[in-house]
Structure 1
């Protein structure tokens, strides 16, 4: 776990820095500088491009991670990288042509209830294309075990750009209408920067020769593209469906609650950047003992960190919503459901990486399609028919991801005879549950504290409560010796 923890630590810093900047953007700058309409528009366009992106990428970013470590000579590696580099164009070019041919019909359909979408429909394709090739070159860097720079581009670049553009809107250097166009341009620039870095790490000798297992590569890519597309639907279909029923501003309000709840997934994203290629390597080497070790260690450490943020977020969520404009209030239940399912994802460690990079990868397709169909059906039931509002959208996400991931957990147990659980897992769950119950319904009795006529009692409450929870949490973790890595770190500081 040495290289995992080292790069994961760096990645976690940048991811949380990105989340901090994203939090400032989402909770304050978007809401005050751009307004609900254009915030909702940006949310819709980006979510729709996320649904489209896996289809354009053709699964190549996953294919690189799975197969690269199976080649042992530069000639074989060059054949492989050359053959997969241009595969996304097989989808991107025809899709762009068809989209241009039927642009009027597509844009009219998407903008039935919100006409503002019509003039920006083409942005969906452009952002999806740049994100697809960004992921390809990011995977290119990750298989060289260099994930940090790409992680900075992925987590920080867009959020810093958004912050700068929002201030540009505030100072009237650009208009709200132009905000989306400038953002699209920076997505292109990010893609080219990632491409340059990937080629700097490893520049192949381009060849027209295909690797001997090209048919297997293509077959894997087709399975993963369909699974990835279904997975993207699960994550972003809710924000896509909102403008079909309500004003586009509602997508902005919902995205704020989802962002708050998703804050806890940062350590998972950081660790997976390096765990995925390592898992692929150990599986290719048939080192099942190391796979099992990675599985258990990733699970307990991710549960430890994500559990802390689960408690912190839900214990402070009421005070946090009090800091926002009134129209954003009422998302506490959404935050709980999204944060719970993100914590559960962390609890499963590198479960998904084990399946995706093993000979059983085909199982991801039926799983993903069942999840996509289920989440669409439940969204339709809860949101359109039962009128449960955005709480219904979050509930659908919780139900589908929880049961699907539990199914994957049982699948790995059956096929690999391993689980991520240890005795410490249940101790960790107990700590999280107790602290959540104790602190969720209690606040410091602070009221009407102002600084230059600005109410700050909510902010003080959040800070004091967070410090208290964090101190108790890590005291219990160290006392119960839940994580070997945390225990070693604490002993080093004690010296």
Structure 2
């Protein structure tokens, strides 16, 4: 619950930044530039992290306190440098060539190669120390730093730009410093939870861990490519302002994934522990319950966004109002993601991760090819369609793979009931438009949708977890 509330609070601040401050305080060109820098950094991040965040979670339980754990943690801290140092050298030596490549369509991108590298490095080590905290079952502070801290700093920086205290160039430099500071704070917190005592003796299973980390690079890179490469490739084909328009539509759709991000902070280490203990009964139950709960919550968010989207776009500048189809397409991809529950955690922490990672690489290549084909042909809608097709293919393969290897799947009769409920509400409310101010329209329609959705869930007890939560709050309201 704390993770969910923190994540939503962060997304509220992010919504203010992306939908109102960025769109009004920066030109479309520089807003697009910010998105290109952050997306390119995110694509580099899994490479620089060297798969360490996943490796730390997977293997931590197997090392007891003492010198063995010290040598393991020392390896986890130093391993990312294996790729960070060569990439730093390449960024320096080939700075001009990289800048020319990134700025083929938009020259403004050329001078920001080091911004991309430094933010990518900061993101990578942040994830390492965040995983460090997760294995100690302390995910809330890291979640706050990831979801809230960065966005609050960006809000302050944008206000300084508006007040003409700093320039846009200074804002971009401060953005780099913010990511480095966030990583430093997370490192201090992680070391307080589990002190690092340097021990350069390699753990007994170092070879297996490094192999796992190397393969996780492929899987992590594939996942990030699926999420971020569309923005980078838009920059390569059409004017950079379009990255800003696409990012706003994408952010609206990404809010659907907030519950999944919060739950994964909890289910990932739990799944690793169940697999370590070979508790297949508990794993299946967690798989189905996480899937149903996420589908219920994400489905409701999808309905609220799609059915209020026309009113929501009334708050944005005219240039940003053409993204309805993008939101729908990317939103459906996020809902399908929710149906998978803790599928990723099962695969990454099992003995079958190698096959999945190879599939991920293939699908990352497929994503790039789809973007190369569809962006020049259909513009921003083409980028959204390419992302949806890649996610749909990737998720379907993962569902089938877990079903084959573990003989379990997340779909139950309750999943079908929730799907029918979603379709029914969508059809009922799609044609309803209230004649009031956009704020009143959104509030009124949202209250009706939520009331009907929750009433059906409670009346028919579709989910025992949701029913339990609703019963608890209804008891409090009634004073019992």
Q: Same fold (TM over 0.5)?
A: yes
Q: How many pairs does the alignment contain? A: 475
Equivalent of 2:159, from 161, 164, 167? 167
Matches of 2:196 and 2:152, distance apart in 1: 32
TM-score of the aligned structures, taking structure 1 as reference length = 0.94
Which of 377, 388, 395 is the matching residue for 1:398? 388
The CA deviation string for residues 94-136 of structure 1, in whole angstroms up to 9 with x for no partner, is 1101110111111122112212112222100000000000000
Residues 47, 83 of structure 2: 8 Å contact kept: yes
Aligned to 1:3: none
Report what 2:433 is aligned to.
443
Per-residue CA deviations over 1:310-330 (Å, capped at 9, x if unaligned) read 000000111111221111111
- In 1, the alpha carbon distance for the partners of 2:24 and 2:183 equals 29
Mapping 1:193-212, distance limit 5 Å = 193-212=185-204
Deviation at 1:30, TM superposition (A): 0.4
Which region of structure 1 is more displaced relative to structure 2, 275-284 or 105-114? 105-114
Task: Give the alignment partner of residue 52 of structure 1, picking from 44, 49, 58.
Answer: 44
Q: Which residue of 2 aligns with 1:14?
A: 6
| RMSD (CA atoms) | 1.1
Q: For residues 463 and 491 of structure 1, what CA distance do their matches in structure 2 show?
A: 24
Could you tell me which of 422, 425, 431 is aligned with 2:412?
422
- Deviation digits for residues 166-207 of structure 1 (CA, Å, limit 9, x no counterpart): 100011110112111011101110000000000000003221
Q: Partner of 2:169 in structure 1?
A: 177
Q: Which of 458, 469, 476 lines up with 2:456 in the alignment?
A: 476
- Aligned mates of 1:50, 1:16 — CA distance in 2: 21
Aligned-pair distance for 1:373?
Answer: 1.2
Matches within 5 A, 1:370-381: 370-381=362-373
Partner secondary structure for residue 324 of structure 1:
coil
C-alpha displacement at 1:423, in angstroms? Answer: 1.7
Contact 1:316-1:440 at 8 Å conserved across structures: no
- Indicate yes or no: 2:275 matched with 1:283: yes
- Structure 1: gaps spanning 5 or more residues: 1-8, 447-456
TM-score normalised over the length of structure 2: 0.97
Q: Distance in 1 between matches of 2:399 and 2:250?
A: 25
CA deviation map 1:277-330 (0-9, x unaligned): 110011011111111111011011101110100000000111111221111111
* Aligned pair partner of 1:463 in 426, 437, 443: 443
SS at match of 2:455: helix
**Contact 2:218/2:358 (CA < 8 Å) preserved in 1?**
no
Q: Does 1:219 align with 2:199?
A: no
After TM superposition, list the pairs within 5 Å mapping 1:312-331 onto structure 2: 312-331=304-323
Is the contact made by 2:237 and 2:375 (CA closer than 8 Å) also made in structure 1? no
Matched, 1:86 2:78: yes
Asked if structure 1 preserves the Cα contact closer than 8 Å seen for 2:256 and 2:302, the reply is yes
Deviations along 1:210-265, one digit per CA (max 9) or x if unpaired, are: 21111100110010011211221111111001121221111000000000011110
Q: Distance in 2 between matches of 1:177 and 1:205?
A: 40
* Cα distance in 2 for residues equivalent to 1:42 and 1:283: 40
Instruction: For 2:155 and 2:430, locate their aligned partners in 1 and report how far apart those are by CA, in whole Å.
Output: 32
- Following the alignment from structure 1 to structure 2, what is the Cα–Cα distance between the partners of residues 349 and 227? 18
Report deviation, 1:90. 0.9
Give the match for residue 491 of structure 1.
Answer: 471
Structure 2 distance, partners of 1:35, 1:466, is 32
Secondary structure in 2 aligned to 1:70? coil
Q: 1:200-349 alignment to 2 at 5 Å?
A: 200-349=192-341
Q: Which residue of 2 aligns with 1:452?
A: none
Bigger CA drift: 347-356 or 115-124?
Answer: 115-124
Contact 2:42 2:228 (8 Å CA) reproduced: yes
Query: Deviation of residue 81 (structure 1)?
Result: 1.0
Secondary structure in structure 2 of the residue aligned to 1:232: helix
Which of 375, 398, 402 is residue 408 of structure 1 equivalent to?
A: 398
Distance in 1, Cα, partners of 2:91 & 2:462: 53
> Take 1:16 and 1:168, find their aligned partners in 2: how far apart are those partners?
25
Mapped partners of 1:171, 1:99: distance in 2? 34
Check whether the contact 1:315–1:441 (CA below 8 A) recurs between aligned residues: no
Check the 8 A contact 2:91/2:113 in 1, yes or no.
Answer: no
How much has 1:381 moved relative to structure 2?
1.3
Matches of 1:293 and 1:371, distance apart in 2? 29
